[in-house]
Amino acid sequence: MKKWPLIHTPLPGPKARKLIHQDRTYVSPSYTRYYPLVVEKAKGLWVHDVDGNIFLDFTAGIAVCATGHCHPRVIKAIKKQADLLLHMSGTDFYYKPQIVLAKKIAHMAPGKGSKKVYFGNSGAEAVEAAFKLARWHTKRELNLAFYGAFHGRTMGALSLTASKTIQKKHYNPLVPGITHIPYAYCYRCPYNLSYPECELGCVRWVEDTLFRTTIPPEEVATIFVEPIQGEGGYIVPPPEFHREMNKIAKKYGILYVADEVQSGMGRTGKMFAMEHFGVDPDIIALAKGIASGMPLGALVARAEIMDWEAGSHASTFGGNPVSCMAALATIELLEEELMENAAVQGNRLMDGLFKLQQSHECMGDVRGKGLMVAVEFVKDRNTKEPARTWRNDIIKHAFRKGLLLLGCGENSIRFCPSLTVNTAEIDKCLSIFDDVVRKIAG
C-alpha cells in the first residue's frame, strides 16, 4: 500500500480514453462526471482504473460502499444467495431474506413501538414511498422541505428537492403542495443571524410566520428533512434544531420524515444520524450504504403509520433477495466494528482538516460528523465569497494525484470514504489534499 496511489499513465489513460469516447456516443449525457475515471475493479478503499492506475477512494461511490469495495463477507453473502434465488418479487410472493432484513431494520430504527419496512431499489424510491405513505396516512396535502435539500430525481422526490435549478429545469409542473424553507446553515445563516444568540430563529419562523400567514399547519402532512444535508453541502445543523422542529411537528400532528439515504447506515458514527440529535423520526428513508453497493432502498415507519392497503404501493424489484442478503452482511459488519471505526476515523479526519485550515485561508469551514465531512472553500474568510473554481480545480487535481473526491453544495468538497478506512488511509488523504490545496489555492 505504501506505493499507492499509483498513477503511471496520463489521465485518462489510453483504454479509459477509448471507453469515454464510446460512453459519449451511447450513454445519456445527463450524468455529471467530475473527472475521467473509468473503473475496472476495486477493493477496500482502492480503485483500479482500466489502465492499471490505482486511486485512493474518498467517495465510496457517492457514500455507498459502507463496508469498502467488495468486502469478502458481503461478496460471500451475495454469492450464496445468487446460487439460491435471484428474484421472485416481494410484491406478490414471500421470501426469507426480505422478511429477515425487515425485522432487523425494524428493530434497529430509533423510537419505541413496533415498526414496519417497505423496500424499493434506490434512495429516490424510498423517498417517493415515504411521501406517498405520509399522504395516505394523514390524508393531508401540504409538505415542508428545505432549501439545499436533495431527495432524489423521480418526480415526487424531485419536488421535495431544492438543491440546484438544473435538477428541475424543464420538469415543471412538479408535485404541488410543497413549501421549501431555510435550513439551519449557520455558516451562511439565511436570516443573517448568529448561533446561539439567534435562539433558532429559523425554527421559530415556521410557527410564528409560516403557520400564521400562508400555511395552515393542520393541512401539513410532513416536514421532510435530511438530518445532515448531503448534496447541499454536508451541513450539520445545531444540536437542538431537529428537536425543536420535531416539537412543532408533534404539536400539529405533522410527520417528521428523516431522509437518511446519505447520512444513515453508520456513516456518522451512529446507525442513524438523527440519533445525534435525540429525535425519533416518524418515517426514515434509507438507501446508499444499506447494501454496500447492491441496489436497495427502504423506508421504516411506526406500524400504525404504515397503514396503507394491499395494492397501494409496491415495486417489482424492490427488496431483491441478493440485495437483502448483502444488506444483512453489511449491517452485521457495521454493528461489529465499522460504525465505531467511522466515529474514530472521522475524528482523525476532522482534526487533520482543522489543522490544514490553519494554513489554508481558502478553507472557510470544516464540518461534519463521523465520515460525513466537508470543507467549504472561500476566496476570503471575512466576506465568505464562494470559491467555486478553486473547489472544482482541487477535485480535478486531486484525481491526477490519485485521490478521488466529490463536491457538494456550491463550493464544498465532501469526504465520505468507506467505513473501513484506516489511519494510514486518512493520513494519506490529508497529505495529498494538503499538497493539492497549496498548489491550486495557496
Ligand X SMILES: Cc1ncc(COP(=O)(O)O)c(C=O)c1O
Q: Applying CB under 6 A, which residues contact ligand X?
A: 122-124, 127, 150-152, 226, 230-231, 259, 261-262, 287
CB nearer to ligand X: pick between 53 and 122? 122
Least Å distance, CB 60 to ligand X, is: 12
Please list, in sequence order, all residues whose beta carbon lies within 8 angstroms of the beta carbon of residue 297, skipping any fewer than 6 positions away.
Answer: 119, 120, 121, 122, 123, 124, 125, 126, 129, 261, 285, 286, 287, 290, 318
Q: Do residues 338 and 107 touch, judged by C-beta distance below 8 A?
A: no
Shortest distance, CB of residue 181 to ligand X, whole angstroms? 17
Q: How far apart are the first and last CA of the chain?
A: 29
**Nearest distance from C-beta of residue 273 to ligand X, angstroms:** 10
249 within 8 A of 425, measured Cβ to Cβ: no
- Strand-pairing partners, residue 107, are none
Which is nearer to ligand X, 46 or 150 (by Cβ)? 150
Minimum CB–partner distance for residue 161 and ligand X (Å): 8
Kindly tell me which of 131 and 399 has the beta carbon lying closer to ligand X. Answer: 131
Quote the least distance from Cβ 98 to ligand X, whole Å. Answer: 19
Q: How far are the Cα atoms of 104, 274, 282, 412 from residue 111, in angstroms, in the given order?
A: 14, 11, 9, 33
Contact residues for 403 (Cβ-Cβ < 8 A; gap 6+): 5, 55, 56, 58, 428, 429, 432, 433, 436
Return the residue nearest ligand X (CB atom): 123
Nearer Cβ to ligand X (371/437)? 371
Compute the distance between CA of residue 340 and CA of residue 323 in angstroms, rounded to an integer.
24
Residue closer to ligand X (CB basis): 122 or 315: 122
CB of 261 to ligand X, least distance (A): 3
SS3 call for 145: strand
Residue 72 burial (CB count, 10 A): 11
Amino acid at 167: Q
Give whichever of 287 and 403 is closer to ligand X, judged by the CB atom. 287
Cβ at position 105, least distance to ligand X in Å = 17
Q: Which lies closer to ligand X via its Cβ, residue 13 or residue 295? A: 295
Q: How far is the CB of 323 from ligand X (least distance, A)?
A: 13
Q: Calculate the CA dihedral of residues 292, 295, 300, 303 and round it to 10 degrees.
A: -130
Between residues 13 and 293, which has the closer beta carbon with respect to ligand X? 293
